[in-house]
């Protein structure tokens, strides 16, 4: 069931989402070649706790038998890693990498969720274009995140834009509603048919997150049970924001 947030709940959502935005502002200033992904993870957790939030991903249980809870505060995925990369003291960020970070902050009982892909130093033109297209796919989708449209209109716009740029969307993972729970209804795939799905209403809070692959859409899961990589080794990028459906234009909650 899709929840419509009250004015009070929306204010609490705004605060959780503000924390996520602060994390990205500070990470963007500090992430650099030579850092380990564990160091980035620790920095993100420090910022969240300083802002009165906790990292919601830490200890998150996928519900899949045999897969341990997520062991870190944020997901960090590099180059051909699509999503859910586990930070490590042994994984060093290098010049030319693209680094996707997915952060969920929990504060006052509500979650804020966003993802960014950082360009580390001088990256290839191909990598830069992929990251730009992935970000723009989000903005193409939210053109339809208004009352009167359906969730399928958002999904269709994302998928068609990505396809028009010669890239692929991940089909096995999707965006989602968000609020008291990290993942709520509705599911929001990055492809679909216009005019289908639930009708959007003011008070809905949604995490919309294009996950885009440079090559074919096929993915693999690593033995850690979390990390998703591209099957053909091509680059992947991720861009996400939590938004609020209003009477008019959508409000992006996870941007300062």
CB 214 within 8 A of CB 236: yes
Q: How many residues does the chain have?
A: 256
What confidence tier does 238 reach under pLDDT thresholds 50, 70, 90?
very high
Q: Check if the beta carbon of residue 74 is closer than 8 Å to that of residue 105.
A: no
pTM over 0.95: yes
Rg (CA), the chain: 17
Q: What is the pLDDT of residue 18?
A: 98
Which domains, and CATH codes, for the chain? Answer: 7-251 (3.90.230.10)
Residue with tokens 């924390």: 19
Q: What was the pLDDT predicted at 111? A: 98
User: Is-contact 208 149, C-beta < 8 A?
Assistant: no
* Model pLDDT for residues 26-59, shown as the tens digit of each residue: 999 999 999 999 999 999 999 999 999 999 999 9
pLDDT at 3: 95
């Amino acid at each position: 069931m899709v929840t419509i947030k009250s004015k009070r709940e929306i204010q609490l959502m705004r605060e959780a989402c503000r924390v996520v935005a602060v994390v990205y502002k500070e990470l963007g200033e500090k992430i650099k070649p030579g850092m380990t992904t564990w160091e980035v993870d620790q920095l993100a957790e420090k910022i969240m706790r300083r802002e009165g939030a906790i990292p919601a991903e830490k200890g998150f249980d996928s519900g899949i038998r045999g897969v341990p809870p997520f062991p870190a505060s944020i997901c960090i995925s590099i180059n051909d890693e699509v999503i859910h990369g586990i930070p490590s003291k042994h994984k060093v960020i290098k010049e030319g990498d693209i680094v996707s970070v997915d952060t969920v902050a929990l504060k006052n009982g509500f979650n804020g969720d966003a993802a960014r892909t950082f360009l580390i130093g001088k990256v290839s033109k191909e990598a830069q274009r992929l990251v730009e297209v992935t970000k723009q796919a989000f903005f193409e989708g939210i053109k339809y995140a208004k009352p009167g449209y359906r969730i399928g209109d958002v999904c269709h716009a994302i998928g068609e834009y990505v396809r028009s740029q010669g890239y692929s969307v991940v089909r096995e993972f999707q965006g989602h509603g968000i609020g008291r729970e990290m993942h709520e209804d509705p599911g929001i795939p990055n492809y679909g048919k216009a005019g289908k799905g639930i009708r959007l209403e003011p008070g809905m809070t949604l995490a919309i997150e294009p996950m885009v692959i440079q090559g074919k859409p096929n993915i693999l899961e690593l033995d850690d049970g979390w990390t998703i990589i591209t099957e053909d080794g091509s680059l992947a990028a991720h861009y996400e924001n939590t938004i609020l459906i209003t009477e008019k234009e959508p409000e992006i909650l996870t941007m300062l």
